Amino acid sequence: MRSASFAAALGAPIPFSRFLPEGLLPVALAQSPFSAADVGKDGLTVLGDRPINLETPPHLLDDEITPAIRLFVRNNGLPPDVEGVEDDGWTVTIDGEVDEPLRLSIADLKSQFETVTLQLQLECAGNGRKFFSPGASGNQWTFGAVGCPEWTGVRLRDALNAAGVKDSAVYTAHIGADAHLSGDPDKRPLSRGVPVDKAMDPHNLIAWAMNGEDMPVLNGHPLRLVVPGWPGSCSQKWLTQITLRDRVHDGAKMMGDAYRMPKRPVTPGAAVADEDMAIIKSLPVKSLITFPQTGARIAVDDQAEIRGHAWAGDLDVEAVDISTDFGATWTAATLGSLANPYAWRRWRAEIALPEPGYYEVWARARDTEGRMQPPLPPGWNPKGYLNNMQHRIALFAV
């Protein structure tokens, strides 16, 4: 899969990849003029720059509320030019199966609806893709395509209700202002949606701010959806239109293998027929170890704090356990409070390592329906979604 990750990072296939010597980095990557710091994302790992895709190393996700600089970036196309856009210069249209189509500027959203601030997880459904075998094409995310900032906006539900959702509406369709990589104005990079039931959850926001400020352009400024708990692809950036549909939306990346999972387990590497695939809904329970950084040294017998976050899609986290002996024994971590539904939860544990040497810390979270993170990647699927395997870090006792 090495050449596949290069291809993803290069934004182009490598027709002669079979001749690329092992260990040799394509010169375009080794001397890439693009760095994450150039786009206000210092410290993030560059997976690609056309489109721009950046992931956050776990130890940089230690903040309870993810700062803008640390929030991953997943682009399918080319962001629009939004330089200097004002609140009355950007509108979102709500149309389709509604009583009265609306066209609302950001100023209208602010004046006509209640402003809400919530801390909400955002995770790419392909987070962890890198660890599936056989591998899947696409960004080779490891652990860091996730974050949990505080978002400010209006409830999606309030705006939909203002337009009047007809009984015939079953699904939303989200449209943003970014351009397709090909430059073809008739093609969209991404247009996904959710069932109306999910859309009506009061925790979905049409957001204009992150952590009390304008959000970074790469994260959707001046306006985006945040639909927490489901694939990040449901959270349209540079939002311009929400159409209520009388059938399941069939926009870009709604069809085929995109954001779909086999309904039943399949043999790794198998082709799966269309009718045997189902659209992904809630993301699975997951946790991260954000402190210390993997590879840290700690003194023998010292009480050392280990901490991280846990989240569980539409559900809540029931417990987090950690192990320092490769999973032979586990102890319960202390769970922090929940800022609001769909925020991730802080967890903390104290460990002591008995003698000098190499150790690993493993973390596993369990959701309120009893499902726990597996030690290895779960069910293989063609596009490498929903890998919620346990996160491990290395520690040296000295």
Ligand X SMILES: Nc1nc2c(c(=O)[nH]1)N[C@H]1C(S)=C(S)[C@@H](COP(=O)(O)O)O[C@H]1N2
Q: Applying CB under 5 A, which residues contact Mo ion?
A: 74, 124, 232-233
- Partner that binds at residue 80, options Mo ion, ligand X, none, CB closer than 5 to 8 Å by kind: none
359 strand-pairing partners: 395
Query: For residues 139 and 323, which CB has a smaller minimum distance to ligand X in the complex?
Result: 139
Query: For residues 182 and 334, which CB has a smaller minimum distance to ligand X in the complex?
Result: 182
- Partner that binds at residue 190, options ligand X, Mo ion, none, CB closer than 5 to 8 Å by kind: ligand X
Closest approach of ligand X to the CB of residue 85, in Å:
15
By C-alpha distance, which of 131, 129, 133 is closest to 53?
129
- Partner that binds at residue 347, options ligand X, Mo ion, none, CB closer than 5 to 8 Å by kind: none
Query: For residues 211 and 324, which CB has a smaller minimum distance to ligand X in the complex?
Result: 211
CA dist 225 and 204 (Å) reads 7
- Partner that binds at residue 193, options Mo ion, ligand X, none, CB closer than 5 to 8 Å by kind: none
Closest approach of ligand X to the CB of residue 101, in Å:
21
- Count the Cβ atoms, other than its own, within 10 Å of residue 323: 20
List, in order, residues 6 or more apart from 338 with CB less than 8 Å away: 316, 345
- Partner that binds at residue 73, options Mo ion, ligand X, none, CB closer than 5 to 8 Å by kind: ligand X
Nearest residue to ligand X by CB is 232
Query: For residues 77 and 96, which CB has a smaller minimum distance to ligand X in the complex?
Result: 77
390 DSSP 8-state letter: P
Closest approach of Mo ion to the CB of residue 232, in Å:
4
The order of strands in the sheet holding 334-335 is 286-291, 304-311, 345-351, 334-335
Query: For residues 117 and 348, which CB has a smaller minimum distance to ligand X in the complex?
Result: 117
Please list the alpha-helical segments (H only) found in the chain.
2-10, 27-30, 106-112, 156-163, 196-199
- Count the Cβ atoms, other than its own, within 10 Å of residue 100: 9
Task: Give contact residues for ligand X (rule: CB under 6 A).
Answer: 71-77, 122, 124, 176, 178, 189-190, 219-220, 232-233, 235-238
- Phi first, then psi, for residue 229 (nearest 5°) are 90, -20
- Count the Cβ atoms, other than its own, within 10 Å of residue 367: 23
Closest approach of ligand X to the CB of residue 253, in Å:
8
Q: How many CA atoms lie within 13 A of 258 on its CB side?
A: 17
CA dist 120 and 105 (Å) reads 23
Closest approach of ligand X to the CB of residue 146, in Å:
9
Closest approach of ligand X to the CB of residue 33, in Å:
21
- Partner that binds at residue 220, options Mo ion, ligand X, none, CB closer than 5 to 8 Å by kind: ligand X
Query: For residues 74 and 366, which CB has a smaller minimum distance to ligand X in the complex?
Result: 74
Give residue for tokens 């001749």.
Answer: 19
Give residue for tokens 């009388």.
Answer: 246
Assess contact for 373 and 328: CB atoms under 8 A: no
- Partner that binds at residue 235, options Mo ion, ligand X, none, CB closer than 5 to 8 Å by kind: ligand X
Closest approach of ligand X to the CB of residue 237, in Å:
4
Query: For residues 233 and 387, which CB has a smaller minimum distance to Mo ion in the complex?
Result: 233
